[in-house]
Structure formats: structure tokens, C-alpha cells
Amino acid sequence: MISVHELRQAIAESQTLGTDVPIERKDYFSWLNAAASNHLIKAIVGFRRSGKSFLLKMLSQSLINKGVPHTNIFYLNFENDLVKDVKTVRQLRQIWEMYQREVADIHKPIYVLWDEVQLVQNWEKLVRTIYEQGKYNIFISGSNSKLLSGELSSSLSGRSLSLEIKPFSFREYLDFLNINFKDYYSRKQHIDKAFTFYLHRGGICEQFKLPELLARNYHEGLVQKIILDDIIKRYQVDNVNVLKETFEFVRGNVTSPLSLRKIVGRLEEQGVKVSATTIENYLRYWMSTYAIEKLTKFDFKLGRVFARTAKYYLVDNSFISGRHEADEKRLENLVYHELTRKYGRENVFFGQNENGYEVDFIVNKEGKFLCFQVCLRLTDENSKREFGNLELARKHLGGSGTVLYVDSVLPTPSSERSAKPVIEWLL
């Protein structure tokens, strides 16, 4: 069993920010600060390496700065070697009792910050017991294979709030580079260069400073980690090859409308025979890790959502395969995530009517519809299609429509044909 000295050391090491401190992610951190006054359990979820642990460390430092004794912040990362043998809820309770008895001042508020808590079997039973006492402020985070908002809500019966963390937005990446983007045109050259990097490399902070070859190796290693730790161990997947091929197919066809039948057919063309049920399960496994996200179809003529056909987007542009020929997909993937940040995933759809006319994104903003088309370069050749599809959707939905582009050779559109450089829109 761990000693009191080792417990104190594990708490101190878990809280340490390190020397290379990334930017403060203001929106997420504001949520955490606001939630700190709420008695509900706070769960930090999201894709691996997206910054969950860093935000908890920042919260810990913020509490100390506000006068909370550091001994009353029970921050433990269960990947720390000093607590690696804590595998059961019984052992976790022993540590909890030791902490209360030997470390904390039980007459003052106690904050429980447990990171990677899913490594402890039946951890939620103790968390619920602590919660029911009504004296503690609880924050938990961990690998999304074990700590999903849906599962948490089920096991803890509505006693929790959840915050999903995404990789850096473009604005956050500019913050990381210390580029002031308030006046775009005064820093245009630097911002445009940063956008080109971000479009290809995405927003996972750890790989920003890596050369391209090492970054590619980093991303592939991350995919393997998800397969091994977040899917195979959790769901006891036997056909690992099909699991990998499902992900490869999605990232090769990101932004394209896909049905289960189409995915099955394409894999069969590659010599991989599998049922639609298996593919449906494998897609669900990948979505449970936040590696891919599903976007459902909205028929703008009928005004209905159809869930059978969907588009799939990757959590980060760094996972999109291909070189510059895939930049249009990267741009659409980037815009998708910015829309979900602004309006919520549940309010974003892609539009398509029964005749196949498609709008990249339809946003339901409190009953008012916003439509978006995305293209790398807006030209005479494609403008009729881009604006035409928007106008067709607006005919049935009302609202506004905008074409987002990187480069345009057209004169400034009229108010009826709105277009905007995507960088300006992002900023």
C-alpha cells in the first residue's frame, strides 16, 4: 500500500504544470471556474492529447491562487507510477481515507481532481459515495474509452456535468504563436502562413514544434494507441484489420456522404468482407473515442433530418490522408469543427434534397437557419454551383447563406450573394 509520503509526492507531481506551458484556453477554463461553484460532478471528456489534464492542472493552480490550501486539492493522475498499483475501488477508498486523515484539513473545502480515474475498476462507486456526502467538489477526467459523458450520466444518474475538449482552434493556435489577430490585415502575412500550417497539421498542441515526418509518426502512433487502449481492450474487438480499415476508409472519404451499404461495398471491393452491423459497431467504437464525428442529413425541402446517410469528420486535420489534393477536405473539416464550437454539434447538419443538391452545412440557430458552402478557390466556374445551392436551400429555409473560401478571383459579391474569406470568418 502507498505510504503518506508517497501520496503527498504523487499529488505534487500530478499537479506540476512543467516548464513548457501552453496557452490558457479561455473558454474551457471559464467553464471550469464557473463549474467549481456547482456541487455536481464535473467530467472532462474528449480526444486523447487534447489538453484535459492540462486544464485540470490550471484549475488546481487557480484554486491555490484563490487561497485554497494546496493540501485540500486532492489531485491524482492515476498514470503516475506511485499509484500504479491502485486498481480497485477498495484500494482507492483506502487512499481517500488516508488523504482525509493525514493530508487534508477536513474543516475546509476539499477539491477532488482525479485524472485517468478509469484505470481504477468501479471508480464510479466511490465517486458517487463522496458526492452523496455533499461536502466535496469533484472533477474527473480520463481516457474517453472509459469516461464518456453518456456512461457517466448512466452510472451516476444525472449527478454530473460534462465538458468536451477539442484540439486547438485556429485562434488558439495563433495565441500559441503569440500572433495578435485583432487586426488581421496588419499581420496578414504571418496569419496566412499560420493558417497554411494549421490547415495541414491541425490543432494537437504536442506536435506543433515537430518536423513534418516526426509529426506524421506521432499521429499514427496516436491512432494505434486508440486502437489498442480505447477500442480493443474495451470492446474485445477480434477483427482488428477491419477496425483499422473502417477508420482508413472514413479518413479517405471524409466530408463525403456515406451509408453503411456504401462502406460495406467499398470494403468488399478491397477484399474485406464484413456485415453492415459490424461496420455500424466499429463506427460507433471510433466515435466513442472522439476520433470521428457523425454529421446527419437535413433535407431542406422536406424540413426533416435523415440519420441513415451521414458525413463523417475527423477530430483533427492532422489525420486526413493525402497531400495538397486533399486541402478542400481539410478546409471543410476545419469549418465543421468551428461550427460545432460556435453552435453545438446537435445544431449542425449537412443539407441535401431528394434531387441531390447539397449544402455543406446547415446550422439551426434558435430556429433560424444559417447555410454555408466551403471551397478553396471561388471562381467563375464554381460560383454558380456554390451560390445556386445556397439560394435553393434559402428558398425553403429562409435565413442566410455564405460561401467560405481561401482564395477568390471574383469581384466582391452583392449582399444577395454573400462570400467571406475563411480566415476572416475564423477570426
pLDDT given at position 149: 52
Q: Which residues contact 134 (CB under 8 A, 6 or more apart)?
A: 39
pLDDT given at position 305: 84
Low-confidence ranges of the chain (pLDDT < 70): 18-22, 143-155, 157, 410-417
**pTM (2 d.p.):** 0.90
| Other Cβ atoms within 10 Å of 104 Cβ, number | 17
pLDDT given at position 319: 92
pLDDT given at position 315: 95
Backbone angles phi, psi at 281, to 5 degrees: -65, -45
User: CA angle 115-118-119, nearest 5°?
Assistant: 95
Residue 364 contacts residue 347 (beta carbons within 8 Å): yes
pLDDT given at position 196: 96
pLDDT given at position 399: 82
pLDDT given at position 23: 77
pLDDT given at position 331: 97
Helical axes 26-35 vs 52-65, angle rounded to 10°: 60
Q: How confident is the model over 111-162, as pLDDT tens digits?
A: 999 998 888 888 989 999 999 998 999 999 876 555 655 556 566 767 888 8
What cell does 155 get?
452510472
Q: Which residues contact 393 (CB under 8 A, 6 or more apart)?
A: 300, 351, 357, 359, 362, 369, 371, 401
pLDDT given at position 129: 93
Alpha carbons 51 and 149: distance in angstroms, whole number = 17
pLDDT given at position 20: 60
By the 10 Å C-beta count (0-12 exposed, 13-18 middle, 19+ buried), 71 is classed as middle
pLDDT given at position 148: 55
